[in-house]
Structure 1
């Protein structure tokens, strides 16, 4: 009975200590208003959330197509209703922007965010952002050509070096196996 009481106290103490450690970690992750503003400035400068601009319009179009498919006689009413609901939900985009700012604030210090925003707001940074898709496409093509060449050379060179080692086709037994096999009659 005394052992259980001691174990209970030890468990309570461990829980208390871990709770304090977790709350200290949570406090360390709290972000100041200026840090969040730096994150928002960075997000705007690098257009980090632009890729999500079409989510709501695409969902609305998909939903309209689905509803119209099942009720084609009400196409106008369906379009009007879904469009109105989509417009009403557009204000929730701010939630995504808040989450993005929090993610950037967790990943970068306030000073780092300011430096990133400053660069991407500069002429060189704006050019970087506008030409990045083209550069990435060209790099992708170059990587594909490079990979094809490497694959060709790896296959060719490995085949040449293994030609003498792997001279016996795999379906033929090796010498020891051939001796141990009984002749079929």
Structure 2
């Protein structure tokens, strides 16, 4: 029963993904080759699809763990089979890259994409990619401290003023 549910979920996910890719593939006619080329250069510069690098290995690892728990006597066979099937699926990463290029090509002009690629390929752009997340985390912390101070001060000021006004109304 569990195998059927898992297969059904996988089949449903595959159908949804196929529908999305087919729909976007039709919309791909709206972008030019120059936009796609510029989009790929910008994507490479900002490493936009890097976060997806670990998806297939993670899914394969999780699947191996699940299957081995259910059939520990077949561990070697499970590992070999899942690894082989994962390697067979690896070329599908190109589908994601193609989709990302279409998305970027629709969102930006070729000139904008070229400017993005130029900036993020520069030393300043590389530094922003490297140190930007740290700066954003630090800014978020500073924003939290600032918001706490504003909350404290507004609450105190409003309470004091309300006490005065309410006391004046009671007289």
Report the TM-score when normalising by structure 1.
0.71
The 5 Å alignment of 1:72-91 reads 72-91=72-91
RMSD: 1.9
Structure of greater relative contact order (alpha carbons < 8 Å, 6+ residues apart): 2
User: Match for residue 124 of structure 2?
Assistant: 124
Change (3 A) 1:164 1:68: farther
Q: Deviations over 1:4-36 (max 9, x none)?
A: xxxxxxxxxxxxxxxxxxxxxx99x72111110
Distance across 2 between alignment mates of 1:164 and 1:45: 60
Larger radius of gyration: 1
Q: Which runs of 5+ in 2 are unaligned?
A: 1-25
1:147 Cα deviation after fit:
1.6
* Number of aligned residues: 141
Structure 1 runs (4+) greater than 2 angstroms displaced: 161-167
User: 5 Å matches for 1:140-155?
Assistant: 140-155=140-155
Residue ranges of structure 1 left out of the alignment (5+ in a row):
1-25, 168-185
Which protein has the bigger helix share?
2
1:154 CA drift (Å)? 2.1
Deviation, structure 1 residue 162: 2.5
Q: Which moved more, 1:76-85 or 1:156-165?
A: 156-165
Report what 2:62 is aligned to. 62
Deviations 1:89-110 (A, max 9, x none): 1100000001100010001000
Query: Partner residue of 2:19?
Result: none
SS at match of 2:30: coil
**SS, match of residue 163 in structure 1:** helix
Residue 160 of structure 2 aligns to a residue whose secondary structure is: helix
Q: Which moved more, 1:38-47 or 1:59-68?
A: 59-68
Alpha-carbon separation, structure 2, partners of 1:118 and 1:132: 17
CA–CA separation in structure 1 for the residues paired with 2:45 and 2:33: 18
